[in-house]
Each structure stands twice: as structure tokens, then as C-alpha cells.
Amino acid sequence: MTIETIGVIGAGQMGSGIAHVLAIAGYEISLMDVDADRLAAAVAKIGKDMDRQVMRAVITEEGRALALARIRTTMKLPELGESDLVIEAATEKEAVKQKIFDDLAEHLRPETILTTNTSSLSITRLAGGTSRPEQFMGLHFMNPVPVMQLIELIRGIATSKETFEAVRGVVDRLGKTAVVSEDYPGFIVNRILIPMINEAIYALYEGVGSVIDIDRSMKLGANHPMGPLELADFIGLDTCLAIMNVLHDGLADTKYRPCPLLVKYVEAGWLGRKVTRGFYDYRGDTPVPSR
């Protein structure tokens, strides 16, 4: 199957980034969200991010103009049914994702492939809730999408070879690198990354080190570009907690128990950079530990 038209559901940080890289690769994009302001903000952000790429000579001015012209926005989910491929990039809540696929079902062309950008949820279970599990799989982009080179490909138990190869072809056209993960909680990246972040939060919770010293230790001692607590703020503490809960519930192992301090921060609404406070307070000129 040749894929040329792609619908992206969700105009948040992930959805806008996905639309960005797909448009540069020459795909015709329909970016859908229920919030008109979020759609407008997404298009503005894509334009600014492309401006930076022009300045760095990653793309040309002409390439920027052509890519932006390939992105149309809509608040009407049924309009995505005509796409060759649909990428769901809504919030990391299974009920929300399942409802989106339910609402879209009657509008889909027979050959349309469905994918989800979930970072941890069962592909097989999501696929089983649709009428086309053979044409369903996981397509997990990393954040920030225009910068990160990796994409995880996850088959559900029913995903067909034809579906997998068609979606892998999209990754190749983007110039990114695919890794193939089995359909287990967290897949590869988050199965390893989020428990490491959770352990860093335990180290803070137990008084092993301060926010600054924990992050400095991993940056200078393990050559990580970002400390684990800083990274948690970047990802979003609510997302980190959701993934830890998926790991804990799905694997039934106490080593995946979310740290109580992570739970408290989420309960407080201290979710990280997106709300200006998490393990760091971002309201001043320089981030400082929030407590």
C-alpha cells in the first residue's frame, strides 16, 4: 500500500511534532483536534520550529513553505477517514484513545491503516477494540519529534505483514531509525527509561541526594545530557506516573511501584515544564528546585 495522505489526531506537543516531520517528508497532513486554539498554536509552533531549521540549513525557505502548505487543520474527526494512514496522538488514556477509534470507525476507507503513538499501552488490546486489528499497530515517536531520530514500531498480535511494512516505509521516508518492540508494557524505551526516572525520584524521596545533586550525578557521572528529574519534568510527571502504573499493572512486579513522591507531585498539579513547576520551578529566569 502506498501512503500519501495522513491524519494526525491531537495537536499537542507530540501531534504537532509528528505533523511537522511528515509534512517535510512530503505527506499531505490533516491535523485534527477538538480545540481550535490548540490547532492554531500547533501551526504557529510548527512554523517557528521550521524557521529554526531554515536558519540551520536543515531545510530551505521553499521547503518550509511547501511543508506548511501540506498541513490542513480540522476539528471534525470524520474528515480523517479518507486518509491512507491515521496516527492517534491524543492523551495517554486508554479510554480516550478507544473512543477516538470507535468514533472514527464508520468513516474509514477499507484500506486505511490505524496507528497509535501510545508510549506504553497494549497495542493488541487497542486493536481488539477496532474492526480492523490486522490494520492496526503502534507507531511511537520520541519527543521532541523533529529532533529525535528513533521511532518504535509495535505489532499487535493480529497486525498483518502488509500493515507493518507500509508503516515501516513511512519511517524510512522520514529518514528516522526504526526499532521493533514486542507488545509488552512500556515497549523498549519506556520499559528502561521510566523506571530509571522513578528510581531517581525514590533517591530524592529517601534523602539520598538533593534534586541538583541527583541530576548532576547522572549528567557528569553517566554522561546523560539531562538529569533524570529534569527529564521527568520535560516528559511530564503525569505521563511518567501513567507509564509506571501501566508497567506495575501489566507486569505485576513490585519493582515497578510508582514512588509515592511522584504520586504527590501529580496530585499537587506539579506536572513539570508544561505547568512551570515540577521537580524544578520554571517561573523565574533560571530553573530552581521547587522544594
The answer to whether the CB of 246 falls within 8 A of the CB of 185 is yes
Residue ranges, comma separated, of all CATH 3.40.50.720 domains in the chain are 5-181
Catalytic position from the list 16, 83, 117, 119: 119
> Catalytic: 152?
yes
pLDDT for residue 1 = 76
- Give the helix ranges, DSSP H, for the chain: 13-24, 36-55, 61-69, 94-104, 123-128, 161-174, 189-205, 211-221, 228-235, 237-251, 260-268
pLDDT for residue 96 = 96
- Give the pLDDT mean for 34-54: 97
The rounded mean pLDDT for the chain is 97
Catalytic position from the list 92, 152, 181, 230: 152
Residue ranges, comma separated, of all CATH 1.10.1040.10 domains in the chain are 189-289
- Give the pLDDT mean for 138-156: 97
pLDDT tens digit sequence for 60-70: 999 999 999 99
- Give the pLDDT mean for 115-119: 96
> Catalytic: 206?
no
pLDDT for residue 92 = 87
The helix/strand/coil state of 246 is helix
Catalytic position from the list 30, 181, 190, 198: 190
Band (pLDDT 50/70/90 cuts) for residue 291 is: confident
What whole-number percentage of the chain has pLDDT above 90? 98
Q: Work out the angle at residue 197's Cα, subtended by the Cα atoms of residues 195 and 199, and round it to the nearest 5 degrees.
A: 70
> Catalytic: 140?
yes
pLDDT for residue 71 = 98
Question: Long-range pairs for 191-194 at CB < 8 Å and ≥24 separation?
Answer: 191/247, 194/240, 194/243, 194/244, 194/247
- Give the pLDDT mean for 266-286: 97
- Give the pLDDT mean for 101-116: 97
CATH top-level class of 5-181: alpha beta
Phi, psi of 7 (to 5 degrees): -100, 130
pLDDT for residue 141 = 98
Asked: is 189-289 a CATH 3.40.50.261 domain? The reply is: no
pLDDT tens digit sequence for 160-216: 999 999 999 999 999 999 999 999 999 999 999 999 999 999 999 999 999 999 999
Catalytic position from the list 92, 120, 140, 248: 140
